[in-house]
């Protein structure tokens, strides 16, 4: 049997095992295409995160899927440094995804970069000096996030170093993240 005939037989067969193999190959091909496109467009193999808390409401809600662009492919625009016409998720400045204290294996935080401080500068007005350079961050929810992350329990007294940043939030798909949250 020639190769074209074998391919045609594989595509048209009604045999359960051959049909199952076709389905598995199709799913693998779709996932591979998605991973390659994600790497090309966003610079990450898995460019999506599901929002797990209400800290970014009303701009991001629990269950939203957020597409993240790799930090290697963009620069962070802070709330304070944003041009007047620059709005990201309803407010000036970028929303960043970062690893708290740079730790691997912990749930990353997705909050807005408010401003950048240099080592030795006060982290906020009349605040303690920064132990190192980095971003001061805050969730958008005024009820649950009255203070900067560095004033509370999220990243206590620790500006976010650039190497801790995974990427910048770019797009949002509402509700789709609930599927992902069901498995965690």
Q: pLDDT value at position 179?
A: 77
Per-residue pLDDT at 4 exceeds 90 = no
Mean pLDDT of 91-111: 95
pLDDT for residue 141: 96
pLDDT score of 41 more than 90: no
The mean per-residue pLDDT over the stretch 61-88 comes to 95
Separation between Cα atoms, residue 23 and residue 46, nearest integer Å: 23
Kind of pairing between the strands at 134-138 and 48-50: unpaired
How many angstroms separate the CA atoms of 67 and 32, rounded?
Answer: 18
With tokens 């625009």, the residue in question is 77
Q: Which domains does the chain have, with CATH numbers?
A: 3-42 (no CATH), 48-182 (2.10.109.10)
pLDDT value, residue 1:
60
pLDDT score of 152: 87
How high is the pLDDT of residue 124?
95
% of the chain exceeding 90 in pLDDT: 66
Residue 142 has pLDDT above 80, yes or no: yes
Q: Are 150 and 158 in contact (CB under 8 A)?
A: yes
């Amino acid at each position: 049997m020639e190769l074209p005939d074998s391919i045609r037989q594989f595509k048209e067969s009604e045999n359960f095992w051959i049909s199952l193999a076709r389905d598995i190959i199709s799913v693998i091909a779709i996932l591979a295409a998605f991973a390659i496109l994600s790497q090309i467009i966003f610079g990450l193999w898995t460019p999506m995160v599901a929002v797990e808390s209400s800290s970014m409401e009303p701009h991001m809600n629990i269950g939203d899927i957020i597409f993240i662009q790799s930090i290697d492919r963009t620069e962070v625009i802070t709330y304070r440094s944003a041009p007047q016409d620059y709005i990201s998720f309803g407010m000036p400045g970028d929303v960043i995804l970062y690893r708290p204290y740079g730790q691997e294996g912990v749930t990353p935080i997705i909050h807005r970069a408010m401003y950048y401080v240099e080592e030795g500068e006060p982290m906020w007005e009349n605040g303690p000096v920064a132990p190192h350079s980095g971003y001061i961050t805050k969730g958008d929810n005024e009820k649950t996030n009255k203070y900067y992350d560095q004033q509370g329990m999220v990243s206590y007294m620790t500006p976010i170093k650039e190497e801790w940043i995974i990427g910048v939030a770019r797009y949002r798909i509402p509700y789709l993240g609930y599927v992902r949250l069901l498995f965690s």
